[in-house]
């Protein structure tokens, strides 16, 4: 759990980034309709949550900076007994004043009044440029004196790059729950007839252990379905000779995990499946071994492409010199995605990869990223020997940068062939 004092420190750090005579405004996420009068489960905007720790909608956070002093104000939805009967309790103004370390709290119904009052005489406004049109229109109505508009999100996202000890603890908790789920999948794979059955086994573990949300829609892709990178239909029948690519991770108290393992439906891989699997596993392990502060993510990408390309040549899937194949991007047909991405409050954490000068940001202690090499060979690809067609394999781990190297947070999730095969027979 993240303490209120940590949110306060984040707001103080953010305030230091603001120019004098300015206002910054962050809004809570809008509820999203599923159909007719039903809604998706509410999930707070990640930047708003990062700065406040508040999980309710109809809320706003103001930073008002004059010279070197900044005041913060929180707007929350009012208490309403009739509404709470249907939709649950609200914190309300009085309780919010006791809980949050801000200068004052007001009802959200006062939003227009506060915009008019706090924007008066200010020259600069910071807000999230991804705001919906109605919110932007409202801001502009009261921002007639504003000379400069800046994107508040970019400053917050840069702060989110480096995780605190409390954040790392939550990510580790999420990964720990995901470990149990993937191991359950390994045990149950041979007993499940359809992809959705295996998905249910995984997500049962998530919710049983307090991870009420998936970090993303689970991918359970049997056979050739693994060659659709974002396959989420999860409705196909599982055949005995299929490999099953499972990309599934839970979200624990707003922090994500993101793990992929590829397992045999029968409990044992065929020789041709082992050849591709061992190549992807070697690359996964070698790239992780290279991770330390100062390394560039782009160098990890290049290294992974070179290793996978070389392996594809050795297997006869690609033909020619590795250097020329890389130059012509021939390997991209079988490895089309990146080696990994930032992870945190979002499974694809919206943190920058480059600085203001467009220079790549080197890896630093406290960053968390995924490493996920893969090879995907469609069953209709007649340029490849028939024995390899229809195989799709990805192996993904969650990595924390440490002072001198890295920690594989998902190292406990089995990925060695002997371990995966042994799970199926327990």
Comma-separated ranges of CATH 3.90.230.10 domains in the chain: 165-423
| Average pLDDT per block of 10 residues along the chain, 426 residues long | 96 97 97 93 97 98 94 97 94 97 98 96 95 93 94 97 98 98 96 97 97 94 98 97 98 98 96 98 98 98 98 97 97 98 97 94 98 98 96 98 97 96 72
Rounded distance between C-alpha atoms, residue 256 and residue 175, angstroms: 8
Which residue has tokens 């919906």? 132
In whole angstroms, what is the distance from residue 329 CA to residue 302 CA? Answer: 11
Question: Given the structure tokens 């007994």, which residue do they identify?
Answer: 81
Contact 410, 176 (CB under 8 A): no
pLDDT for res 426: 56
User: What CA–CA distance (Å, rounded) separates 270 from 264?
Assistant: 9
Q: How far apart (Å, rounded) are the C-alpha atoms in residues 226 and 246?
A: 9
Q: Which residues are catalytic?
A: 37, 230, 247, 258, 337, 341, 348, 372, 376, 394, 396
Q: Taking Cα atoms as reference points, which of 274, 98, 247, 85 lies closest to residue 181? A: 247
**Domain 4-158 indexed as CATH 3.30.1330.30:** no
Residue in the structure block whose two tokens are 């090499």: 373
Q: Quote the pLDDT of residue 422.
A: 87
Q: Where in the chain is the domain with CATH 3.40.350.10?
A: 4-158
Count the residues in the chain.
426
Token output for 95: 């309780």
Q: Is the CB of residue 339 less than 8 Å from the CB of residue 372? A: yes
CATH code, 165-423: 3.90.230.10
Residue 264 pairs in a beta bridge with 243
Tell me the CA distances in angstroms from 234 to 10, 314, 371, 420, one per residue in order.
40, 33, 24, 21
Q: What is the pLDDT of residue 424?
A: 66
Rounded to whole angstroms, the maximal C-alpha distance in the chain is: 72
**What pLDDT sits at residue 185?**
96
């Amino acid at each position: 759990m993240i303490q209120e004092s940590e949110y306060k420190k984040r707001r103080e750090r953010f305030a230091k980034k603001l120019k004098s005579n300015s206002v910054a405004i962050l809004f809570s996420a809008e509820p999203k309709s599923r159909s007719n009068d039903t809604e998706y489960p509410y999930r707070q905007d990640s930047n708003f949550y990062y700065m406040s720790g508040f999980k309710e909608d109809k809320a706003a956070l103001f930073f008002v900076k004059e010279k070197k002093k900044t005041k913060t104000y929180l707007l929350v939805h009012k208490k309403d007994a009739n509404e709470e009967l249907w939709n649950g309790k609200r914190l309300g103004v009085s309780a919010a004043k006791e809980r949050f370390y801000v200068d004052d709290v007001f009802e959200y119904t006062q939003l227009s009044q506060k915009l008019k009052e706090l924007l008066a005489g200010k020259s600069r406004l910071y807000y999230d440029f991804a705001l919906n049109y109605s919110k932007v229109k409202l801001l502009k109505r009261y921002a007639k004196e504003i000379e400069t508009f800046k994107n508040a999100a970019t400053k917050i996202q840069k702060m989110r790059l480096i995780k605190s000890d409390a954040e790392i603890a939550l990510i580790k908790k999420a990964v720990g729950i995901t470990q149990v789920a993937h191991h359950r999948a390994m045990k149950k794979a041979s007993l499940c007839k359809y992809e959705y059955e295996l998905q249910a086994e995984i997500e049962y573990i998530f919710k049983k252990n307090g991870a009420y949300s998936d970090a993303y829609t689970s991918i359970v892709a049997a056979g050739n379905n693994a060659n659709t990178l974002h396959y989420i239909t999860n409705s196909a029948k599982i055949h005995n000779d299929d490999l099953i690519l499972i990309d599934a991770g839970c979200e624990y108290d707003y922090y994500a995990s993101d793990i992929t393992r590829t397992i045999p439906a029968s409990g044992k891989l065929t020789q041709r499946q082992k050849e591709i699997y061992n190549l992807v596993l070697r690359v996964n392990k070698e790239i992780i071994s290279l991770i330390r502060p100062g390394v560039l993510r782009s160098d990890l990408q290049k290294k992974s492409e070179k290793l996978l390309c070389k392996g594809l040549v050795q297997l006869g899937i690609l033909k020619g010199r590795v250097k020329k194949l890389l130059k012509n991007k021939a390997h991209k047909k079988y490895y089309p995605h990146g080696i990994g991405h930032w992870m945190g409050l979002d499974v694809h954490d919206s943190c920058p990869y480059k600085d203001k000068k467009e220079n790549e940001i080197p890896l630093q202690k406290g960053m968390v990223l995924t490493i996920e090499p893969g090879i995907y060979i469609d069953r209709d690809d007649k340029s490849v020997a028939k024995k390899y067609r229809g195989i799709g394999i990805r192996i993904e781990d969650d990595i924390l940068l440490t002072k001198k190297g890295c920690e594989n947070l998902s190292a406990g999730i089995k990925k060695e062939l002997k371990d995966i095969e042994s799970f199926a027979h327990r």
